[in-house]
Amino acid sequence: MKALVKVAAGPGLELTDVPDPTPGPTDVVVRVLRTGICGTDLHIDSWDDWAAQNIKAPLTLGHEFVGEVVETGASVTGVKIGDLVSGEGHLVCGTCRNCKAGRRHLCANTKGLGVHSNGAFAKYVVLPEQNAWVHRTPVDLDVAAIFDPFGNAVHTALSFPVIGEDVIITGAGPIGIMAAAVAKHAGARNVVITDVSEHRLDLARKVGVDLAVNVAEKTIEQAQADLGMAEGFDVGMEMSGKPSALQSMIANMAHGGRIAMLGLPAEEFPVDWSSVVLKMLHLKGIYGREMFETWYSMTVLLQRGLDLAPVITHRYDYTQHAEAFATAREGKCGKVILDWSGA
């Protein structure tokens, strides 16, 4: 089968032929229809320091996908051939304390599909039955392909109650924009999103944020004044991993405010912990999705009219992977989709 592979240590990917996967007793084989390009895939492509330390070549990339089940292992009972599924890309051990307690998103032994094992940038992908989310209601294939990052957004956006609250989101990448859409859909009073890219801020405006702020030109304090706010934001969602973003967020939180952090910093940086203590702020780290409560919430949000169409800006055939990766890397885009239906 055709697959997009990191064939050896170093920059670049190769579209090449690899053996078709075979399922273990509890696995399913999925005929991939669409995939989304993630920042992790860009790191592996460019072979930066993180990739050099964590990736073992050869490796088929990709963890954002949707497809049709074409084969099941002998012990599979809940997923059937013909089911349309999206994949949960975090592969958990099932035996640690958190897994046994039903808190699989907290598994300390988590491995990544397309990171530690062959992924979905291919004609077929194999994954555990428990990681296959079966779509029981109609869903657009492009949207189903990005359930993984959509789940990051939903997990972050719904970590704290947002009904009637003032929300600040730092980082208008695709996940930040989806989180903004979720917060607004869930009843937040004001949703403010910040970035330095006017292109991405324009995408955020399309999902209905109350204010999209270019922090190269305006401060968050000024945004508060524009909205008539006096006591700070109730809920913060840090999506950028930038030191200045978290620092500004903390400075603009209301007393008792709650911050969910998804953005992963590249290095250590100072934080005004005195403000965290004196304001009695609550900081929560977010990694991935709650399995599978977040997935249920995603499905319900889409059923009840949440529109993610503005977030998906580019679509390419899998043979155009180089152009697709270049588009994603440039950053003047939302989610970039690869179509594998012709593979």
3 state SS of 132 = strand
End-to-end Cα separation, the chain, in angstroms: 8
pLDDT of the residue at 85: 98
pLDDT of the residue at 5: 98
Catalytic option among 26, 35, 43, 194: 43
Question: Which residues pair with residue 235 across a beta bridge?
Answer: 167, 258
| Strand duo 90-91 + 111-112: pairing | antiparallel
CA–CA distance, 88 with 295 (Å, rounded to integer): 9
Instruction: Write b or e for each residue in 181-218: b if 16 or more Cβ atoms lie within 10 A of its Cβ, otherwise e.
Output: bbbbbbebbbbbbbbebeebbebbbebebbbbbebeee
Nearest to 294 by CA among 160, 148, 144: 148
- Token reading at 301: 């949000």
- Sequence-distant (≥ 6) Cβ neighbours of residue 55 within 8 angstroms: 6, 44, 47, 115
Decide if 314 is catalytic: no
Decide if 43 is catalytic: yes
Nearest to 312 by CA among 141, 137, 77: 141
Phi, psi of 198 (to 5 degrees): -65, -30
pLDDT of the residue at 266: 86
- Token reading at 287: 């990694």
**Contact at 8 Å (CB) between 111 and 89?**
no
DSSP letter for each residue of 222-240? HHHHHTT-SS-EEEEEE-S
Say whether 187 counts as a known binding-site residue. no
Catalytic option among 35, 40, 60, 299: 40
The tally of CA atoms less than 13 A away on the side-chain side of residue 214 is: 10
pLDDT by residue for the chain (343 residues), tens digit each? 999 999 999 999 999 999 999 999 999 999 999 999 999 999 999 999 999 999 999 999 999 999 999 999 999 999 999 999 999 999 999 999 999 999 999 999 999 999 999 999 999 999 999 999 999 999 999 999 999 999 999 999 999 999 999 999 999 999 999 999 999 999 999 999 999 999 999 999 999 999 999 999 999 999 999 999 989 999 999 999 999 999 999 999 999 999 999 999 989 999 999 999 999 999 999 999 999 999 999 999 999 999 999 999 999 999 999 999 999 999 999 999 999 999 9
Say whether 286 counts as a known binding-site residue. yes
Domains of the chain: residue spans and CATH: 2-146+308-339 (3.90.180.10), 153-285 (3.40.50.720)
**Contact at 8 Å (CB) between 263 and 241?**
yes
DSSP letter for each residue of 47-104? T-HHHHHH--SSEE---EEEEEEEEE-TT--S--TT-EEEE--EE--S-SHHHHTT-G
Say whether 333 counts as a known binding-site residue. no
pLDDT of the residue at 335: 98
pLDDT of the residue at 169: 98
